[in-house]
């Protein structure tokens, strides 16, 4: 049987507002999320045998544990009897850095789940689909939709009909940020910004978007603040934000040429950091 190819796109948080806390200690957030053109590449096919075969390759494949989002997804589908007598070989080329705030592992699981549904390998109701995704990880559900999406709290989300169009300059230092650590050290709450607001009105996004978690991440890793400060001075920059819990900082531009021109200056300043051009999709 031949492999099927899947593109597993990275996600970015254009904004994160921390609104409160649930009884279980998890934070209630509001976030505007978009997929971008950067993607992991997944090969998948059914195989005979008693075990799934999952392998990771590529620049960012180092130290991925045996128990990961993809293995957890397949085990859960087996336990819930969605997959019977089926095993898979999956090869994932990791182009999305780990601990970057771009949801690489979660998007892998979401993309594979989406593939299994579209190919009618599994049948699942919408409510059960959401439960499965959330059982694997809070961001997995984002991999099921093309977006952009506004996430409200733990279970509510709104898929936007209008695309968000930005050209992106993405930089990640040679360290990552732990989601658990950043959230556990975060203090303070803010109000949401998307309920009945004209988010596509001229300059609304630039004037209102921010990531509340930057305060905690920048305190722990001051270099992230320095990178953002440098990027804010780049020519034709629209705005700059950290995505997720870090450590990736993203500059937003209105044109590809402006982003590529700024990329040369950023690479010259931070020669040893991972830096790429991408765009929202």
Structure tokens at 103: 């949801």
pLDDT in tens, 70-87: 999 999 999 999 998 899
Average pLDDT of the residues in 256-270: 98
pLDDT in tens, 14-33: 999 998 888 777 888 999 99
CB–CB of 111/8 below 8 Å? yes
Rounded Cα–Cα distance for residues 68 and 71 (Å):
5
Position 208 pLDDT exceeds 80: no
How many C-beta neighbours within 10 Å does residue 50 have?
5
Strand 53-57, strand 87-93: pairing: parallel
Rounded Cα–Cα distance for residues 203 and 21 (Å):
30
Residue-level pLDDT at 198? 59
Residue 244: pLDDT band (50, 70, 90) is: very high
Residue-level pLDDT at 58? 97
Higher pLDDT, 3 or 209: 3
DSSP for 62-126?
TT--SS-HHHHHHHHHHHTTSS-S-EEEEEEE--SPTTSSS-HHHHHHHHHHHHHHHTTSS---H
Rounded Cα–Cα distance for residues 1 and 100 (Å):
35
Domains assigned to the chain: 4-158 (3.30.230.10), 167-279 (3.30.70.890)
The residues carrying an active-site annotation are 11, 139
Residue-level pLDDT at 189? 86
Position 196 pLDDT exceeds 70: no
Residue-level pLDDT at 130? 86
Residue-level pLDDT at 227? 98
Q: Which residues contact 171 (CB under 8 A, 6 or more apart)?
A: 227, 231, 248, 249, 250, 251, 266, 270, 273, 274, 275
């Amino acid at each position: 049987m031949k492999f099927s190819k899947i593109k597993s796109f990275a996600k970015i948080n254009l904004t994160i507002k921390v609104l409160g806390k649930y009884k279980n200690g998890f934070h209630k957030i509001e976030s505007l999320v978009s997929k971008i053109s950067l993607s992991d590449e997944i090969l998948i096919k059914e195989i005979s045998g008693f075990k799934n075969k999952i392998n990771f390759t590529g620049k960012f494949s180092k130290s991925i544990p045996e128990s990961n989002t993809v293995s957890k997804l397949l085990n859960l589908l087996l336990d819930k009897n969605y997959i019977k007598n089926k095993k898979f070989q999956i090869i994932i080329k990791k182009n999305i850095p780990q601990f970057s705030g771009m949801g690489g592992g979660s998007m892998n699981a979401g993309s594979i789940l989406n593939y299994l549904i579209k190919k009618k390998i599994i049948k699942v109701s919408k409510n059960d689909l959401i439960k499965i995704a959330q059982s694997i990880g809070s961001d997995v559900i984002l991999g099921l939709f093309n977006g952009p999406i506004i996430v409200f709290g733990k279970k509510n989300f709104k898929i936007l009909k209008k695309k968000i169009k930005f050209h992106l300059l993405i930089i990640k230092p040679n360290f990552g940020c732990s989601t658990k650590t950043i959230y556990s050290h975060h203090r303070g709450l803010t109000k949401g910004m998307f309920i009945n607001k004209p988010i596509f009105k001229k300059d609304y996004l630039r004037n209102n978007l921010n990531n509340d978690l930057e305060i905690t991440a920048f305190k722990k890793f001051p270099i992230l603040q320095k990178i953002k400060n440098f990027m804010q001075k780049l020519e034709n920059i629209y705005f700059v934000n950290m995505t997720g819990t870090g450590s990736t900082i993203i500059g937003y531009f209105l044109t590809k040429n402006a982003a590529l021109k700024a990329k040369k200056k950023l690479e010259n300043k931070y020669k040893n950091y991972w830096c790429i051009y991408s765009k929202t999709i």
